[in-house]
């Protein structure tokens, strides 16, 4: 039974890692629409693992720490790109307002 749980835990962690990699790729490609879906999948996997009370071995704990670190980088990239995008929108808005003021 413990071996099955270890295999299942490894499988779930592998899925989480693939999802994180996909999210990172989508951020670099500015494809934000699919990120929400992948994030929901990620949260479902995590909640399933919590419901089943998976025991994590040291190897799995290292994988989780790696995923957390990777997710922090992803979130940082996402916030940075989102901030840039909002800044460009705000700048365009100011330009449009200035143009309209001259009319």
Give 6 or 51, the one with higher predicted confidence: 51
Distance separating alpha carbons of residues 92 and 99, to the nearest angstrom: 10
- SS3 call for 32: coil
Range of the domain at 60: 2-102
| pLDDT at residue 1 in the model | 46
Output Rg (C-alpha) for the chain, integer angstroms. Answer: 20
Number of structural domains (the chain) is 1
Token digits of residue 14: 């592998």
Q: Is the pLDDT of residue 45 over 80?
A: yes
| pLDDT at residue 85 in the model | 84
Q: Is the pLDDT of residue 31 over 70?
A: yes
| pLDDT at residue 21 in the model | 84
**pLDDT band at 43; cut points 50, 70, 90:** confident
């Amino acid at each position: 039974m413990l071996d099955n749980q270890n295999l299942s835990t490894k499988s779930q962690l592998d899925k989480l890692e693939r999802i994180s990699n996909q999210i990172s790729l989508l951020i670099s490609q500015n494809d934000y629409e699919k990120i929400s879906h992948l994030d929901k999948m990620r949260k479902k996997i995590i909640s399933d693992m919590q419901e089943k009370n998976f025991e994590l071995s040291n190897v799995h704990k290292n994988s989780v720490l790696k995923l957390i670190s990777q997710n922090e980088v992803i979130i940082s990239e996402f916030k940075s790109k989102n901030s840039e995008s909002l800044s460009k929108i705000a700048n365009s808005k100011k330009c449009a307002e200035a143009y309209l003021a001259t009319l």
